[in-house]
A and B are shown apart, each in its own frame.
Chain A
Amino acid sequence: MALLDIKNLSLYIETANGVVKALDKISFVLNEGEIKALVGESGSGKTLVVKAIIGALPDYWQIKADRLTYKGQDLINMSYEQRRQIMRRDIAVVFQEPTSSLDPSVKLGDQIEESIPPEFINKGWFWERNKQRKDIAIGLLHKVGIRNHKKWMNCFPHEIPSNVSQKIMIAMALASEPSVLIADDSTRSMESTTKTQVLRLLVKLNKTKNLSILFVSHDLLSITSIANSMTVLYCGQTVESGKVRSLLKRPLHPYTKALLDSAPSFQISLPSKSPLKALKGTIPSLQNLPTGCRLGPRCPNARKECVVAPPMRNIQDHQYACHYPLHFPSHKKHATNEMVLKSAPEEIAGKKDIYD
């Protein structure tokens, strides 16, 4: 069942140079019990997508979407109060920078206790309630792998190392026992031991609590180690989406290919001291976005048709937005869904081994 269903999410930002389309028809689905990765380099709009989901964008930015639903409830048009209730109980977010996401003037213990929903406290007297709240907070810290709870709970956020504060952020996110956890680049700037701990924790939660996780990152290695499916973003556009294994094995979009090529861990055959492949140029600024497919100016396969934005196409679970996908028998113009299905059933059957 789809928990988060996003279809053609666009975000318009008013700048001094006119309206900029920061997100252009982003679509993906987060299913129940799934770990979904949202991949893209810095500036590709990952965090904007997260903020659009949780409603943290400024009011004067315009969001348009065919669908932005949680369990079938429309998140955009619902009242503030309804959305708040959903955020309180069902969706939890772990932000990029843990230290700035914690209130600097409140002790950590109090902040964790604050994030426990009042419904969880059922004792009568206030001292019993305080005790219960504290016990739940300590339990949460143990759950995320912090043994020394006494030491950290009396600290202020600036006094603790960032890996501990990241774990505390996760503990706070788990306090309301959510069904969706959005981890916005939570392992950024972590050294590998801590990163592994956090990733292991996420997988464990996914397995034991059936927690669905939207894992936003640019770290391909950790994505491939934990995620089931992934969606690749480039400059505010969905580029490719599908099961992690099939994307790794056979990327259809040139950008996905370039992204994978830039990570040496995925190229076993890479000879030593050979230059890494990378696309020329940089991600365009929001003021100068190319029309059509935004990869156009940097794409090795770009043709005339690429000035028109390609629609999303499906091959089985694999979606891509490209006029001239890689690994295709012939560069047929407008190789639509039906054409692929009609013309090449045997071809897909032949590629089965590639897919799995």
Chain B
Amino acid sequence: MSLPDPWTHLAALTPARIALGRAGPALPTREVLALSLAHAQARDAVHASFDAGAVARGLEALGHPTIQVASAAPDRATYLRRPDLGRRLSAASRGALEAWRPRGADLVLVVADGLSSAAVHAHAVPLIAALAPYVARAGWRLGPVVVATQGRVALGDEIGQVLDAAMVAVLVGERPGLSAPDSLGVYLTHGPAVGRTDAERNCISNIRPAGLCYEEAAFKLAWHVAEARRLGLTGVGLKDESDLVSLTAEPPQALPPA
């Protein structure tokens, strides 16, 4: 016998699990099992393999040159236990990047599987497509898009350093949640170099159609890139005030002067 909650109308306002009712103090049976199923789906998402080739083809179709690299973590099991390896390039990948010309881009985009290949498969290409008009309007020189397997956020530091980039934006699959196993995050780092700390980055998270949509995420990323260029830094010294800028204006005009 379970007791329903008479405020189920509120549940439409949030993806959070509210108005679930109860059996004694506990969740009703159907809710306990629904939670179990969602957990099972998220567990499976963590271990799904990354199709770097498909992502690279999608980016090349948009006209971006790409490079595929791998971190120093040889497989998923090692990757999960050894974040240090996921933050550094494999020797072969480092060699390939060192040979890349030209260097010194204003911005290098890195697409890394992180903890959710599903997020990267679904959202990386559309987000980069939505960013393109801002890049074109501001005249920023983009480097190659680096597609990284078994990569963590800080892998972008070494990639940006080797490519001598002024800034790096890492698009990475976030930890799968129960309601959102496919959420993408972007971490922007000015002056990327091995050893940068998380306090020196800005993060835009929860990018997916039901969260922060591609257009808004692209606007926010472009706003941050422009601010970072103006201030010469990213991190806690750069506060996100992008929502003070009107979103209704033509996208490129919504940007502060670069």
B and A form one assembly: no
Residues of A within 8 A of B (CB): none
